[in-house]
Amino acid sequence: MPLRCSHVLPFRGRTCVAAIASLRGNTSFTLPQDVRPPRTKRSRRNGLLRSLIKTAVLKTSIGDRCYTSVQERWFELTYRRRRELYRRLVASDPDAHRPEAHIARARSKIAGRGYTPVRRREGEIHTFAYVPSHWSHQNQIAAALRHLGPVTRFDYELRGIELASLRTSGRTHRELRQRLFKELLEEIRRAHRERPLDWFFSYALGWDMTAEFVRRIQEEFGIPTVNISLDDKNWWDVIERRDPASAMKDFVPSYDLGWTSASAVLPWYWALGGQALFLPAGVNSDWYAPVDIEQDVDVGFVGSRFGYRPQILAALRKAGISVQVHGDNWPGGVLSDEDMRRFFSRCRINLGLGDMHFSRWLTNLKGRDFEVPSTGRGLYLTAYNADLSNYFAIGREIQCYRGVDELIELLWHYLQNQDESREMARQARLRCVAEHQWIHRYRCVLAHLGVFDANPVAG
């Protein structure tokens, strides 16, 4: 989903770097934030006016292109400043880039509070899953946990607590958060009494978790705590409700292990006293499976409309390539889970864009990078990402492009060589079933933490 850039942390000069570097190892500190005063009636009125002007500008072709270009420059600038900041912080510490050092520090942190994980076999592991149901892939993540053993899932959406309410800064927000954490703690205690928990697993962001609550779980129950974050590059500095301590970086280092889908952010965790495991999203291959249906779509794309995506798709159509598009803010609308998996099988080629926010060049692994190949019907053609190249054989299982011209040429080629693209899709399906299911990811994480009774293997 597209993100705002209005609260991205501005890093300025060596003074900021030196100040933060002097605090390394202290996980309770927070980086300087672009903190704004509480909103007044005048500021809300001005905000509404800006929103109306922005909407009017974006309705024009020139305005939309200018806005996209400015957003791209701003997003890439802030990302590179952040990346450089953390590079400087860990420049003299090679362990920041070593996965084995992150795992060792996670194990040491757990042992340091006097807890020794009980090694269990698959089917015996009791998971407490703090996984809400904002997005459909969260239900896929939660469902796969049952392969490990009993699961106690806490979904606050089913308790009448809505995401929109958690993200507001109204008067009732504090009471709502207090209620959320009170009910969550009570449910953890109840589940632990009925059958001892083996680990706490969460899909949390700045609106529904705090460092203090993570530490409370660790102190009271001792069990390993893990948070999965599939968009660290985007969300790392984004604050919620104008709360300067609500960005990802303010609470994820408190976990025993952060599960990140971007290898580049391992040093970011390390610099803040945290530790992380780079592991991409998985897939439930029994759901994302081939559907016996006519392939009546040449090229299909599923994803939100923002940034350069409309311009890229317009270039494809100008080149004579028929593209069917679904997702937020597209005329084709959003597909249900069932319709989406059928759509993947209808497409001769499934297009992935792999972009981050408004940038055409910065990339991040997506859940779609595994969901589409798992369906095994249409070739998956996406933007090149070095992380993704470690999980598929590019050119034999999936295909990647750099730039719109190469994308157009590859589409022309594979639309004229459908036997080749079908075989690649079939091979990608075999790889997903053998190596990229969610259960493979869970086994890897828990083996590293000493919970799963098996030697950790690459996820």
| In the chain, where the domains are located | 13-89, 94-281+439-448, 297-435
Average per-residue pLDDT in the chain? 88
The predicted-structure confidence for 68-79, as pLDDT tens digits, reads as follows 888 899 999 999
Gap between the Cα atoms of 30 and 334, Å rounded? 38
b vs e for 229-261, b when ≥16 Cβ sit within 10 Å of the residue's Cβ?
A: bbbbbbbbbbbbeebbbbbbbbbbbbbbbbbbb
pLDDT of residue 311: 93
Q: Pick 214 or 58 by higher pLDDT.
A: 214
Say if residue 345's pLDDT is above 70: yes
Give yes or no on whether 94-281+439-448 and 297-435 have one common fold.
Answer: yes
3-state SS, residue 163:
helix
SS3 302: strand
Check whether 225 has a pLDDT greater than 90. Answer: yes
pLDDT, tens digit, for every residue of 268-282?
A: 999 999 999 999 999
CATH code assigned to 94-281+439-448: 3.40.50
The secondary structure of residue 359, as a DSSP letter, is E
Cα 5 from Cα 327, distance rounded (Å)? 22
Tokens linked to 74: 């701003």
CATH 3.30.1360.120 is right for the domain spanning 297-435: no
Give the count of beta carbons closer than 10 Å to the beta carbon of residue 455.
8
At residue 323, the 3 state secondary structure works out as strand
DSSP per residue, 46-96: HHHHHHHHHHHHHTSHHHHHHHHHHHHHHHHHHHHHHHHHHHHHTTT-GGG
